[in-house]
Chains A and B, each alone.
Chain A
């Protein structure tokens, strides 16, 4: 139908163009009239279709409800919904009719008839809406109609809607996290959460159990996150940057063609695999090494998790830095070399400073990746919320705590589960602040270097 609308609109316009005169030229190319008519046809049809789909189940349920006897209709909400579900299932054939009572069977028969009718009616109404729209659109094809401008506008509105959708989703996420956190802060004061030094989110299921009041000081787990991220960055930044410099400045094209994808494979390894690599290989190695020089190392240590996480994010740093370093114009390098600088002097004093905004961007991306990383830490760094800066001890991170809090069997509104949302909010705010700082620094450097 839409295609037909396009062709009808277009051919009418083509016909008109052939008749067009100097005094009365056709405003746009025939194609645009085709698009215009297509839009006139499609928008009403799709709107009606969407509305119908949205309202269909409500209306049908209402109808079923009306047909049911009073005693069922007056049942409390939960049970009533169960019956409705039964009826729908019978209608679709998921439950065999023999098992159910006659009331439900007849209601189900009604329901399926209604459903079938609804399908037909929907098709008809949509068709009519489309045709009406198309007719209206057809009438609008005149010499002076500015079809091109109309089409451009519709495209713009469509694009705006799409981008709004993404923004709205973000806002929705933020709001839901925010409200859940507010509920949490009703039960646990904010100051306890933000400045408390003790984290043990054990709330009892019965009030008389021991240890019934948990404590929700988030400082230790944020410290753990920072510690592990810091270790990861200590690994990733130098290695990533150095390999980026090698790739961009020294490697021959053939080496580059091999090494770059290989490095990028690191980013594609599932984090679980990194996790057991950290837990089963790196952690025991560190422990063995630590013991041999007389240090006590926990079997799950921040160091192991941080090291492996660092390796994981090397490609983030190197790949992005490599891109920005290669993007530095050759004339910069020529200028420096032409003044008698060596290659490494050129790289250090000219290329890297010029590429710095991009490099910083890559590093920050890696940081947010490190902060959000969960799997490696669960497996290799432990769950104990120690407040420590000793990388050899077990620590835990925000994301890990969120996971453990939400995978329990607790009631959904207990402080324990709500704490997860509060942590999520804090994490979100932290990364947001980080990003803002990052953007600021990048902009500052950019002013300086461009």
Chain B
């Protein structure tokens, strides 16, 4: 699958590269500190189309011209982006650039914020997810989400994982439910740690364990896409490593979008990377290309840590 993607993108990369290079020019690194800030704003204001290839051959989800407003304030500006099947795409960018907002659009979690308005087209398997016939409840069962802060329910570990399957009637009897719970915990790599205390409260686990429990809880609904919003932001390197390993395994069966502030993490887990700045999708491409050979100067500045 991955090789398939890379073939497709290299083709279009070459075609779009020429149009981009003209706007890039030499980086403004020699400018003084005072004008540097100004120049970034100018660049952002004059941002045109996204650099790189936003489309893939086999999109699971795709966004076209998505704008998001919180009351009068626009948080996302015309984003086009595809999420391919069996792919991990990571979203990076400075704080407040709209990564979480975009992620939350993908399973309509923004519906819970009354002032939030989403326009543009978002599809899952070609169906408009903001369409009149789409039930956000069913959508969220297909597009699962893991949040930045682990948020296990104040119930037992077992109940936490069984919550989704129970809601959606995924099991016919107790033993099937047991199976689902155990497989999910196992896939999330936490089963060995909790198998003796499935009745203990999920809130009594450590932060990393809680986060893996939340992942297990999401997997248990057998979603088709998993959205992860900074899943490792509160975790130590060991727990992080476990979750990254887990993401790798999960990408065999799911489409995964992950928001992260750690560029190493993006490099380790994802096949494609999207760089956002102030609500705009600046550049998207193969993770390796983005990190070794960024084409837009904002991306370059961000990944080299040269923002003021």
* Interface residues, chain A, with chain B CB atoms under 8 Å away: 252, 329, 331-342, 345, 349-350, 353-354, 447-450
Cβ–Cβ contact B112 & A333, under 8 A:
yes
Bound complex: CA A275 to CA B187 (Å): 63
**Which candidate, B89-97, B148-156, B266-274, B288-296, is the interface stretch facing chain A?**
B148-156
Bound complex: CA A353 to CA B153 (Å): 9
In the complex, which of the residues B147, B154, B221 contacts A334, with contact meaning CB atoms closer than 8 Å? B147
The closest CB in chain B to the CB of A335 belongs to B151
In the complex, chain A residues whose CB is within 8 Å of the CB of B137:
340-342
Q: Name 9 A/B residue pairs within 8 A (Cβ), A-sorted.
A: A331-B149, A334-B145, A334-B147, A338-B109, A340-B141, A340-B164, A340-B168, A447-B201, A450-B201
- The answer to whether A335 and B147 touch (CB under 8 A), given A340-B221, A353-B154, is yes
In the complex, chain A residues whose CB is within 8 Å of the CB of B168:
340
Cβ–Cβ contact A340 & B140, under 8 A:
yes
User: Does residue B60 face the partner (Cβ distance < 8 Å to A)?
Assistant: no
Bound complex: CA A87 to CA B112 (Å): 79
In the complex, which of the residues A331, A339, A450 contacts B167, with contact meaning CB atoms closer than 8 Å? A339
Besides A331-B147, A332-B154, A450-B203, 4 more A-B contacts (Cβ < 8 Å) are A338-B109, A338-B145, A340-B221, A449-B154
Cβ–Cβ contact A338 & B201, under 8 A:
no
User: Does residue B86 face the partner (Cβ distance < 8 Å to A)?
Assistant: no
Cβ–Cβ contact A332 & B144, under 8 A:
no
Interface string of B165-185 (1 = CB under 8 A from A): 001100000000000000000
Cβ–Cβ contact B141 & A354, under 8 A:
no
In the complex, chain B residues whose CB is within 8 Å of the CB of A329:
151
Bound complex: CA A337 to CA B221 (Å): 12
In the complex, chain A residues whose CB is within 8 Å of the CB of B167:
339-341, 345
User: Does residue B163 face the partner (Cβ distance < 8 Å to A)?
Assistant: yes
What's the minimum C-beta distance from A360 to chain B, rounded to whole angstroms? 14
In the complex, chain A residues whose CB is within 8 Å of the CB of B147:
331, 334-335, 338
Bound complex: CA A200 to CA B137 (Å): 63
In the complex, chain A residues whose CB is within 8 Å of the CB of B217:
335, 339
Cβ–Cβ contact A334 & B201, under 8 A:
no
- The answer to whether A335 and B112 touch (CB under 8 A), given A341-B137, A353-B155, is no
In the complex, chain B residues whose CB is within 8 Å of the CB of A341:
137, 163, 167
Bound complex: CA A337 to CA B153 (Å): 12
Bound complex: CA A235 to CA B254 (Å): 50
Cβ–Cβ contact A448 & B201, under 8 A:
yes
In the complex, chain B residues whose CB is within 8 Å of the CB of A339:
140-141, 144, 163-164, 167, 217-218, 221
What's the minimum C-beta distance from B127 to chain A, rounded to whole angstroms? 16
Cβ–Cβ contact B109 & A337, under 8 A:
yes
What's the minimum C-beta distance from A250 to chain B, rounded to whole angstroms? 12
The closest CB in chain B to the CB of A356 belongs to B154
Q: How large is the interface on B (under 10, 10 to 19, 20 to 34, 35 or more residues)?
A: 20 to 34
In the complex, chain A residues whose CB is within 8 Å of the CB of B85:
none
- The answer to whether A335 and B214 touch (CB under 8 A), given A340-B138, A450-B154, is yes
In the complex, chain B residues whose CB is within 8 Å of the CB of A447:
201
User: Does residue B107 face the partner (Cβ distance < 8 Å to A)?
Assistant: yes
In the complex, chain B residues whose CB is within 8 Å of the CB of A345:
167
What's the minimum C-beta distance from A447 to chain B, rounded to whole angstroms? 8
Q: Which of B109, B137, B144, B218 has the most CB of A within 10 A?
A: B137
Bound complex: CA A447 to CA B199 (Å): 13
* Interface residues, chain B, with chain A CB atoms under 8 Å away: 107, 109, 112, 114, 137-142, 144-145, 147, 149, 151-155, 163-164, 167-168, 201, 203, 214, 217-218, 221
Bound complex: CA A329 to CA B148 (Å): 14
The closest CB in chain A to the CB of B141 belongs to A340
What's the minimum C-beta distance from B197 to chain A, rounded to whole angstroms? 14
Bound complex: CA A342 to CA B111 (Å): 12
In the complex, chain B residues whose CB is within 8 Å of the CB of A448:
154, 201
The closest CB in chain A to the CB of B155 belongs to A353
The closest CB in chain B to the CB of A345 belongs to B167
What's the minimum C-beta distance from B226 to chain A, rounded to whole angstroms? 11
Cβ–Cβ contact B151 & A349, under 8 A:
no
- The answer to whether A337 and B112 touch (CB under 8 A), given A331-B147, A332-B153, is yes
In the complex, which of the residues A334, A342, A349 contacts B163, with contact meaning CB atoms closer than 8 Å? A349
In the complex, chain B residues whose CB is within 8 Å of the CB of A353:
153-155
Bound complex: CA A339 to CA B147 (Å): 11
What are the 3 closest A-B residue pairs judged by CB atoms, nearest first? A340-B141, A449-B154, A331-B151
What's the minimum C-beta distance from A254 to chain B, rounded to whole angstroms? 11
What's the minimum C-beta distance from B212 to chain A, rounded to whole angstroms? 14
Bound complex: CA A447 to CA B112 (Å): 29
- The answer to whether A338 and B154 touch (CB under 8 A), given A331-B147, A331-B149, A349-B163, is no
The closest CB in chain A to the CB of B168 belongs to A340
Cβ–Cβ contact A338 & B153, under 8 A:
no
Bound complex: CA A354 to CA B142 (Å): 26
In the complex, which of the residues B114, B144, B152, B203 contacts A338, with contact meaning CB atoms closer than 8 Å? B144
In the complex, chain B residues whose CB is within 8 Å of the CB of A338:
107, 109, 140, 144-145, 147, 218
What's the minimum C-beta distance from B209 to chain A, rounded to whole angstroms? 16
In the complex, chain B residues whose CB is within 8 Å of the CB of A349:
163
What's the minimum C-beta distance from A18 to chain B, rounded to whole angstroms? 44
The closest CB in chain A to the CB of B160 belongs to A335
In the complex, chain B residues whose CB is within 8 Å of the CB of A335:
147, 151-153, 214, 217
In the complex, chain A residues whose CB is within 8 Å of the CB of B153:
332, 335-336, 350, 353-354
Bound complex: CA A345 to CA B140 (Å): 14
Q: Which of B139, B141, B151, B164 has the most CB of A within 10 A?
A: B151
Bound complex: CA A238 to CA B138 (Å): 31
Cβ–Cβ contact B201 & A449, under 8 A:
yes
Bound complex: CA A335 to CA B151 (Å): 7
Bound complex: CA A450 to CA B203 (Å): 6
In the complex, chain B residues whose CB is within 8 Å of the CB of A340:
137-142, 164, 167-168, 221
Cβ–Cβ contact A334 & B138, under 8 A:
no
Bound complex: CA A331 to CA B234 (Å): 15
In the complex, chain A residues whose CB is within 8 Å of the CB of B114:
252
Bound complex: CA A334 to CA B144 (Å): 11
Bound complex: CA A333 to CA B112 (Å): 9
In the complex, chain B residues whose CB is within 8 Å of the CB of A334:
109, 112, 145, 147, 151
